[in-house]
Structure 1
Amino acid sequence: MAATLAVVLDRADRRPLGGQLADEIRRQVTDGRLAAGDRLPSSRALATELGVARAVTEVAYGQLVAEGWLEGRHGSGTFVSASAPAQAPPHRPRRRAPEARPLLRLDAGTPWIDPRYAALWRRAWRDVSTTRPPAGYDDPRGLPELRTEIAARLGRIRGLDCDPDDVLVTAGTTDGLRHLLGVLPPGPVTVDDPGYRAAVATVRLAGREVVDVPALGPPPDATTLATCAAAYVTPAHQHPLGPTMSGSARLALLDASRTSGALIIEDDYDSEFRYDVAPVPALASLDRTRVAYLGTASKAVAPSMRLGWLVPPQHLLDPLNQMRAITHDTASWPVQRAYLSLLRDGYVDKVVRSARRTYAERSTRVAKALAPYAQTTGPIAGMYATLELPRRQAEAAHQSARTKGYDVPLLADYCRSDTRHGLVIGFGGCTDAQLDEALGAIVRGLR
């Protein structure tokens, strides 16, 4: 006997009747009203019952047979071929209503972009729109013209002597880190604690152990690195505490790398924003054979571009290029083309110079507002300041800022085994007025 189908078709619905019928039968299978082996009415009988053309039921049955929900048996009819799940899907909780005012996150990675140069930004994307993209997959190393510009820029502002063929364009810093981890021998990776959370997550997702190294202590020595594949560091501006790695510590880390064989991975995320002295040359400039250099456009142009670059030691170039050629794992062509225009038109240099002046002024404002309560750690550089505080004070200031609409990260969120507390106050992704309002809320919490 054929199963009874309780189906109602809505002729006012914009969906075709055949699609409505297929949806309803599929729903009855998944919620258990129709079981595997149940025979359905013939397409002619069901069409008569529903008062539709036979073509409607044939379309629905044909779609569900193609999807594997039904099967046609020659001379016997159409049967349900799938069973309902053993357990009904969990009830989805209702979403909470959004807050009246979305929180503005004052984090360590959102830059301030001078709106005066918006015309150059628009021009770059017009250039993309009038340029023909590659017919197939483009060069896995990145656009040759962009790699030439990046190599020249690294030599000019980071003291890094490299050729365009040494540069690999990536979809951001963590993308470059992920590629490096894919060609390194097995072993853990040392990361400063507190340190960059995205790097920690990337290392762990690669199936490697993270070895904590005290952020303000000496760099990992040869004994520590003996069992490690790499050491991840942010020498120009330790993330998130702020100090610059000293010359002696840099030399000691390089010696430990040579002795142990572990690679040094330098994340040079915001070195352009030193506003007390000239930017410190990259660690990779001291020894290209032991250091893989990671750079990013996120802090100068926009995190959402997801664009970065990797300059690995020579012995890793071929493995990286071969892997990326197989996986087609490179940055988006339109983004690369736009960034090339932004470099050539001077946009990047202009927004960096403007942001450096803005950050210098804002850092002074932050230090002055917080001076009665605690001193920021390390020389203030970049687009954030870190304030070490007792736990209760940090949490009170964090909550006070939230009540005014600002999410100021807690230093504890960057720690793993370290027990520091405090605030990491970003001042790039806000206006001057918003920064003043946030600082006022933080001070009220500290009081």
Structure 2
Amino acid sequence: MVDDDLPFAIERDGRVPLAAQVADGLRRAATSGALRGGDRLPSSRELAQRLGVSRTVVTAAYDQLHAEGWLDGRHGSGTYLTATPPPLDAQTAGPQRVDPLAGLLDLGSGAPSIETIDPAAWRRAWRAASDRQPLIRRDRRGEAAYREAVVEHLLRHRGLGAGSGTAVLATAGTSAAAGELAASLLRPGGVVAIEDPGYQRAAGAFRAAGARLVPVPVDAEGLRVDLLPESARMVYCTPAHQFPIGARMPAARRVELVEFARRTGALVIEDDYDGELRYDTSPLPLLATLAPDRVVHLGTTSKILTPTLGIGWLVADPAVAEAVLAYRELTGTSPAPAGQQVVAELARNGDLARHLRRLRRDMPARRALVLAELGRHGLEVRGDDAGSHVFVPLATADQEDRAIAAARANGVYLDGLIRHHVGPRRTFGIALGYAALPAADLPGAVRLAGSALARVVQWTA
């Protein structure tokens, strides 16, 4: 039996689910020699008591380690660490990050639907891009054909007349663009106000650029503009479909945000990560159309196509764009041309527009399936009728942790708000995505998730 002093600890406020932390801790202990083959592990109930977590968390961790071959259950005598752990070539290469989605049905947020991509159009675009001569030097603004495609796309699908009084740059995605903006425009320690809960990769990019983050709460109408600090030099928000809560910022609050920016001189960064995916009504005017001099508009192909391309766009006042270009020249960075060339070809052939039409037909049906199944379990669901995820609110952090662990034990990955906070956790629940899975797998996965969520809510009510 292992000693009472376990060779690892868990972080209750960490971004990794508790069950994954327990599994990772035992896995590291085995590879480091702190635990040895043949060691008998505590029962799930005993280990849960030692760690101060629910038994469901430990059971889910044990189930994962059983599946990976680390544990061996002997009837009537307990659970033992296997004498020979599964071979890991990377053991000699330092600590390894465990994939939280390994072997699970993915109901996480922020993933695209690759099933709707037309394989013939995809291959055709890559072939056409490969026919181009290799580049000698990059245009740090981005490929001309790609930027022209972005201008047309924004005009047709988002109502933004980019290119007239503004500059359009290719980016490596929204988080990369956020980092470039902070690095090129902020002094070290400059304040960036950011939604909380919100998009943590953008938060990480701001931090890496030396910014000081101030988390600002969100409500059913998005970012609380009335709580913005006057010291903010930048305000990062997702007004079309707040990530991960799913709220849509109404017109009055958009005007309030623009007025704040004009009064304080702050720059608003509008992340329109899935603005093309709206099903109920026409979208509200973009912030960038209200104040092109104070708003930087960001978009990405990662949610409407695939992260394979690794590109997005930035629309900003020319002075802002020039600062970003100067930063790129200084650092030698710029987005990769290959993905830009593929998107330009998709747009040129009309395949991009056809793909978006397919998405707008497919996503509402998936959303309806999710709402029906979660509703059957009596679960509350929030979020605007848009995008590719919904929000299931929960009452406490414990409910959220238990729900994630219970779903994982059923083979389903759920995305809790624990990983979406900048400051202390104040909102709890699940951001449930419905785009990543094939249509044939989605009903079963949502059924398992709904059952797990309902049980946790009932147990802890």
Q: Same fold (TM over 0.5)?
A: yes
Using the TM superposition, give the Cα deviation of residue 324 of structure 1 relative to its aligned residue in structure 2, in angstroms. Answer: 1.7
Mapped to 2, the partners of 1:99 and 1:442 lie a distance apart of: 16
Q: Which amino acid aligns with 2:408?
A: R
* Gapped regions of structure 2 (runs ≥ 5): 1-90, 456-461
Corresponding residue for 1:433? 440
Q: Tell me if structure 2 keeps the 8 A contact 1:242–1:386.
A: yes
Corresponding residue for 1:196? 199
Corresponding residue for 1:407? 413
- Residue 298 in 1 paired to residue 330 in 2? no
- Residue 120 in 1 paired to residue 126 in 2? no
Using the TM superposition, give the Cα deviation of residue 409 of structure 1 relative to its aligned residue in structure 2, in angstroms. Answer: 0.7
Q: 1:124 to 1:96 in 2, by over 3 A?
A: closer
Using the TM superposition, give the Cα deviation of residue 93 of structure 1 relative to its aligned residue in structure 2, in angstroms. Answer: 8.1
- Secondary structure of 1:441 counterpart: helix
Q: Tell me if structure 2 keeps the 8 A contact 1:273–1:279.
A: no
**How many residues in Structure 1 have an aligned counterpart in Structure 2?**
357
Mapped to 1, the partners of 2:227 and 2:412 lie a distance apart of: 44
- Residue 155 in 1 paired to residue 158 in 2? no
Mapped to 2, the partners of 1:158 and 1:301 lie a distance apart of: 16
Mapped to 2, the partners of 1:224 and 1:437 lie a distance apart of: 42
Corresponding residue for 1:62? none
Q: Tell me if structure 2 keeps the 8 A contact 1:267–1:295.
A: yes
Q: What TM-score comes out, normalization by structure 1 length? A: 0.74
Using the TM superposition, give the Cα deviation of residue 133 of structure 1 relative to its aligned residue in structure 2, in angstroms. Answer: 2.0
Moved more, 303-312 or 374-383: 374-383
Question: Equivalent of 2:217, from 214, 219, 242?
Answer: 214
Instruction: For residues 219-246 of structure 1, give each alpha carbon's deviation from its aligned partner in whole angstroms, at most 9, with x where no partner exists.
Output: 4658844312100010000001111101
Q: Tell me if structure 1 keeps the 8 A contact 2:216–2:227.
A: no
Matched ranges for 1:386-425 at <5 A:
386-391=391-396, 392-415=398-421, 416-425=423-432
Q: Tell me if structure 2 keeps the 8 A contact 1:401–1:438.
A: no
Mapped to 1, the partners of 2:434 and 2:202 lie a distance apart of: 22
Using the TM superposition, give the Cα deviation of residue 213 of structure 1 relative to its aligned residue in structure 2, in angstroms. Answer: 0.8
Q: Tell me if structure 2 keeps the 8 A contact 1:410–1:423.
A: yes
Question: Equivalent of 1:341, from 336, 341, 345?
Answer: 345
Q: 1:122 to 1:351 in 2, by over 3 A?
A: same
- Secondary structure of 1:432 counterpart: coil
Instruction: For residues 153-187 of structure 1, give each alpha carbon's deviation from its aligned partner in whole angstroms, at most 9, with x where no partner exists.
Output: 21222222222871100111111111111122331
Corresponding residue for 1:175? 176
Q: 1:105 to 1:436 in 2, by over 3 A?
A: same
Q: 1:220 to 1:110 in 2, by over 3 A?
A: closer
Q: Tell me if structure 2 keeps the 8 A contact 1:237–1:271.
A: yes
Question: Equivalent of 1:381, from 378, 386, 394?
Answer: 386
% identical equivalent positions: 32
Q: Tell me if structure 2 keeps the 8 A contact 1:101–1:405.
A: no
Q: Tell me if structure 2 keeps the 8 A contact 1:284–1:293.
A: yes
- Secondary structure of 2:435 counterpart: coil
- Secondary structure of 1:271 counterpart: coil
Q: Which amino acid aligns with 2:144?
A: P
Q: Tell me if structure 1 keeps the 8 A contact 2:222–2:239.
A: no
Mapped to 1, the partners of 2:247 and 2:222 lie a distance apart of: 13
> Over the residues paired in the alignment, what is the CA RMSD in angstroms?
2.6
Greater relative contact order, per chain length (Cα 8 Å cut-off, separation 6+): 2
Corresponding residue for 2:450? 443
Q: Tell me if structure 1 keeps the 8 A contact 2:222–2:242.
A: no
Corresponding residue for 2:275? 271
Q: Which amino acid aligns with 1:147?
A: R
Matched ranges for 1:2-13 at <5 A:
none
Matched ranges for 1:21-420 at <5 A:
102-114=103-115, 117-135=118-136, 137-163=137-163, 166-186=167-187, 187-216=190-219, 219=223, 224-371=228-375, 372-391=377-396, 392-415=398-421, 416-420=423-427
* Gapped regions of structure 1 (runs ≥ 5): 1-89
Q: 1:147 to 1:116 in 2, by over 3 A?
A: closer
Mapped to 2, the partners of 1:264 and 1:96 lie a distance apart of: 34
Using the TM superposition, give the Cα deviation of residue 333 of structure 1 relative to its aligned residue in structure 2, in angstroms. Answer: 1.6
Using the TM superposition, give the Cα deviation of residue 316 of structure 1 relative to its aligned residue in structure 2, in angstroms. Answer: 1.2
Using the TM superposition, give the Cα deviation of residue 363 of structure 1 relative to its aligned residue in structure 2, in angstroms. Answer: 1.0
Q: Tell me if structure 1 keeps the 8 A contact 2:115–2:438.
A: no
Q: 1:258 to 1:341 in 2, by over 3 A?
A: same
- Secondary structure of 1:304 counterpart: coil
Q: 1:240 to 1:129 in 2, by over 3 A?
A: same
